[in-house]
Amino acid sequence: MTAKRRGEARRRFLLVGYGNPGRLDDGLGPALAVQVEKLGIPGLTVDSDYQLTVEQAADVAGCDAVIFADADVSGPEPFGFREIQPTQATPGFSSHALEPEDVLALAHTMFKARTRGFALGIRGYRFNDFGEALSDEARKNLAAAVTFVEKTIRDGLSEWM
């Protein structure tokens, strides 16, 4: 992508993959982050963590759009993708268990950002055991999500922005 696209400055995107790789398919978010980072997509920053934290609000605020990617135990196959809105209530200042809408709200409130937010839920199947392996079905869904994210970011999220 060139520095200018249809007269616009290059957009900045953030992908945050989160979840616990030690809990089987719960590691889909971090696995997505690893694979997408290897693609070297211009304008995209990739982050991976076990859970969302208040500190990520600063990173979110520095971007035009953020995709929060996590495993989904009951969502559509191979994944679901939707725009999210910041929470209306001020999220509590805990360093544990924030939702994507909370991080987005903190970015908007604390940094006056106008970042657009999206949630990508990759369908997983095995969560109730320990191990650092994805199920065969989850790996297929992950591959589809990688392809989707690459195309969506390279296209500048134009369908969504």
pLDDT of amino acid 102: 95
Alpha helices in the chain (DSSP H): 28-38, 56-61, 100-111, 136-154
pLDDT of amino acid 12: 94
CA atoms of 69 and 66, how far apart (whole Å)? 10
pLDDT of amino acid 5: 44
The residue to which tokens 């199920």 are assigned: 135
Give the chain's domains with CATH numbers. Answer: 10-154 (3.40.50.1450)
Q: Going residue by residue through the chain (161 aa), what tens digit of pLDDT does each one get?
A: 334 444 455 679 999 999 999 999 999 999 999 999 999 999 999 999 999 999 999 999 999 999 999 999 999 999 999 999 998 765 555 555 799 999 999 999 999 999 999 999 999 999 989 999 999 999 999 999 999 999 999 887 766 65
Tokens of 161: 């922005």
pLDDT of amino acid 44: 96
pLDDT of amino acid 90: 59
Cβ distance 160 to 55 under 8 Å? Answer: no
pLDDT of amino acid 89: 60
* Three-class DSSP category at 124: coil
